[in-house]
Amino acid sequence: MKFTAFLLFISTSVLMAAPKVAEHLQDISVTIKAEDRFSRSEGSGVLIIRKIDGEDVTFVWTAAHVIDNLRSVREAIDAKGSSRKVVEFKDAKVVKELVERGRRVGEIKMDARVIKYSDYDDGHDLALLMVRAKDYGKAGAEFLMEKKDDVVPIGTELYHVGSLLGQMGSNSMTSGIIAQVGRTHGKVEFDQTTVTAFPGSSGGGVYLKSGQYVGMLVRGAGEGFNLIVPIRRMYKWASENDIMWSLDPKVKSPTMKEILSMPIESEALNESSSGDDGKSVEFPFLIRETTIGE
């Protein structure tokens, strides 16, 4: 009798915890809009909050290919007359849904500056944005810290929250498992998951049932065959580029001056790249929502 009561208590606790995790994950998830003159891309992003120069500043993790159309390269001549290539980005738009008691009551739109970018063809397909408005976010993601170099075991249950089909499906939550680890595509390694995803899911977080972030959804080959940038690869890239503070809150954050002076790209420019029009469709495909035209 006591054993049955104990099991009932555990089951009830789990049922009560799940909606709280879902509410938190939806609260930290945003839609990313990258609008240029001739193209528009929509994807997903995850908020983090860091104290910079005594102020709460909101940053957003997303996939590089979501904002790729905001990138431009121009020639510049320095004081010695030498030519160099300068990479520039227009601001992305970050859209946060406002929900009360399960009902949408509005949205907030903010501009975000691209702070760090790794190309999706020749890099890690990761980007870190900084919301220009102060005190924008109220909550942020918690990244898996313990055993960060280990893989998440096959069969582990997961949640995904993203903007499935763009803004229309913002804050959609799906579930699945880790289906396989160590899938190599191009020069990098991904983990495979069965969480449901659609165009617009790119950049969205994938989480343990506890709510800890374990990867970023970036590619897919069907609703239940999707690839994530695993957290172990995000840690490696962040460490190489001195932005571990954006994953680990225990690492001291830089000053705003230091953030703005960081090079946006660390990889060498891909001379053969010519944007979406010059890139072939690959398997698995990118899962952003795109529109081409005026």
CA 219 to each of CA 9, 175, 196, 207, 263: distance values in angstroms, whole numbers, following the listed order: 40, 16, 12, 16, 26
In a domain, 100, yes or no: yes
In a domain, 57, yes or no: yes
CATH at residue 90: 2.40.10.120
What pLDDT was estimated at residue 143? 94
**Weakest mean pLDDT among 20-24, 83-87, 135-139, 235-239:** 83-87
Distance CA 137, CA 266 (A): 28
In a domain, 274, yes or no: no
pLDDT tens digits, one per residue of 125-142: 999 999 998 877 788 999
In a domain, 273, yes or no: no
User: What is this structure's pTM?
Assistant: 0.85
What pLDDT was estimated at residue 243? 96
Structural domain that includes position 67: 2-267+284-292
Residues 6 or more apart whose Cβ sits within 8 Å of residue 28: 46, 47, 137, 139, 140, 141, 205
In a domain, 278, yes or no: no
In a domain, 250, yes or no: yes
Number of domain units in the chain: 1
**Weakest mean pLDDT among 141-155, 217-231, 277-291:** 277-291
Note whether 185 and 284 are within 8 A (CB).
yes
Question: Where residue 3 falls among pLDDT bands split at 50, 70, 90?
Answer: very low
In a domain, 277, yes or no: no
Would the pLDDT of 277 be above 60?
Answer: no
